[in-house]
C-alpha cells in the first residue's frame, strides 16, 4: 500500500509546526493539506475528504474540540480518522477530545520518526484502503435488533425510526457489542477490536464512548459488568 495515496489534513495555528510536520510526512510520501484554524479546517476537509485529520486543540476562531464536533456531522467524513496533536496532556482535555468524536490523541513535542509511526498506525484503521474517506471499508448489510438498526454502509443507526450519525469509534464500538447480544466483551477485547493493538489510548477512553452511546440510545441496552467489560441487551 503506497503512502502517497493517503491524504492528511494538518490543523495548527503555528506555522512552524505545520511546516515541520508537513515536511516529515511528505518525505514519507503522504499527500498533506494544512489549515490554521478550525473553521478553515472544515472547509478544506469538505473539499479534499482526507483519510486522517490531525488537529491542535487550542486555536483562534474555532478550537480543535469545536472543529472536531462539526467535522463529525459531515457524512462524507464519517470514516475519517481524527487525532488531536497538542501539548496539553491532561485527562480532562483528552476526555473532551474523545467526547467530540476524536479517535486518538498525540502529545507534542514528538520525534519525527515516532510521529510517522503513529500516523501509519492510525491509517491502518482505514482497512488498508486508500480510497476517499467517504467510502468506508465495511459490509453493506444492516444489522437489526429490536428497535435498533445499524447501517454499516452509511455509518449510521436508526433508533425507534430516528436516524443518527455516530462518530466512527462510537459506531464501531456499538457494532461490536450488537454483533453478539448478551456476550460480555472484556475491556481488552474492545480495545483490540475497536482501537487496534498498535495504538495506545487512555484508560477512560472506553468509558467515555460508552457514556456517549448511552446518551444516544438509552441506558437500558448497554450493561456494565464491573471490572470485566460491557454487553448489549435488547
pLDDT at 56: 87
pLDDT at 141: 63
SS (H, E, C) 7-28: EEEEECCCHHHHHHHHHHHHHC
pLDDT at 88: 57
pLDDT at 139: 40
CA distance 124 to 199: 10
Q: Is 183 helix (H, G, I), strand (E, B) or coil?
A: coil
Helices 64-71 and 91-99, packing angle to 10 deg: 20
pLDDT at 54: 94
Kindly list the structural domains of the chain, giving each domain's residue range(s) and its CATH number in brackets, ordered by start. 7-125 (3.40.50.2300), 142-232 (1.10.10.10)
For the chain, the distance separating the N- and C-terminal CA atoms, rounded to the nearest angstrom, is: 41
Alpha helices by DSSP H, listed for 81-167, are: 91-99, 112-123
DSSP code for 48: H
pTM (2 decimals)? 0.60
pLDDT at 99: 79
Q: For every one of its 234 residues, what pLDDT tens digit does the chain have, with 9 covering 90 and above?
A: 455 578 999 999 989 889 999 999 999 999 999 999 999 999 999 999 999 999 988 888 888 889 999 998 888 887 788 998 876 555 556 677 777 888 888 877 778 888 888 888 888 766 544 443 333 333 446 777 877 888 877 778 888 778 888 888 888 899 899 888 888 999 888 888 888 765 556 667 888 899 999 998 888 889 999 888 999 987
Amino acid at each position: 500500500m503506497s503512502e502517497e495515496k493517503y491524504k492528511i489534513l494538518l490543523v495548527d495555528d503555528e506555522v512552524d509546526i505545520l511546516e515541520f510536520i508537513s515536511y516529515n510526512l511528505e518525505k514519507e510520501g503522504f499527500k498533506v493539506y494544512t489549515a490554521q484554524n478550525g473553521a478553515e479546517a472544515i472547509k478544506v476537509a469538505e473539499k479534499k475528504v482526507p483519510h486522517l485529520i490531525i488537529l491542535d486543540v487550542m486555536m483562534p476562531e474555532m478550537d480543535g474540540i469545536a472543529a472536531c464536533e462539526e467535522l463529525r456531522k459531515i457524512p462524507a467524513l464519517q470514516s475519517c480518522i481524527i487525532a488531536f496533536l497538542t501539548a496539553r496532556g491532561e485527562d480532562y482535555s483528552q476526555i473532551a477530545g474523545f467526547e467530540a468524536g476524536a479517535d486518538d490523541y498525540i502529545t507534542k513535542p514528538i520525534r519525527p520518526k515516532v510521529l510517522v509511526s503513529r500516523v501509519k498506525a492510525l491509517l491502518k484503521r482505514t482497512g488498508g484502503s486508500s480510497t476517499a474517506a467517504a467510502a468506508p471499508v465495511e459490509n453493506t448489510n444492516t444489522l437489526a435488533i429490536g428497535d435498533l438498526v445499524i447501517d454499516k454502509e452509511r455509518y449510521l443507526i436508526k433508533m425507534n425510526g430516528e436516524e443518527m450519525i455516530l462518530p466512527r469509534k462510537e459506531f464501531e464500538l456499538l457494532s461490536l457489542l450488537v454483533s453478539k447480544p448478551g456476550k460480555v466483551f472484556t475491556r481488552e477485547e474492545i480495545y483490540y477490536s475497536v482501537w487496534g493493538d498498535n495504538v495506545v489510548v487512555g484508560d477512560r477512553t472506553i468509558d467515555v464512548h460508552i457514556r456517549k452511546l448511552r446518551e444516544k440510545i438509552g441506558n437500558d441496552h448497554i450493561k456494565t459488568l464491573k471490572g470485566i467489560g460491557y454487553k448489549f441487551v435488547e
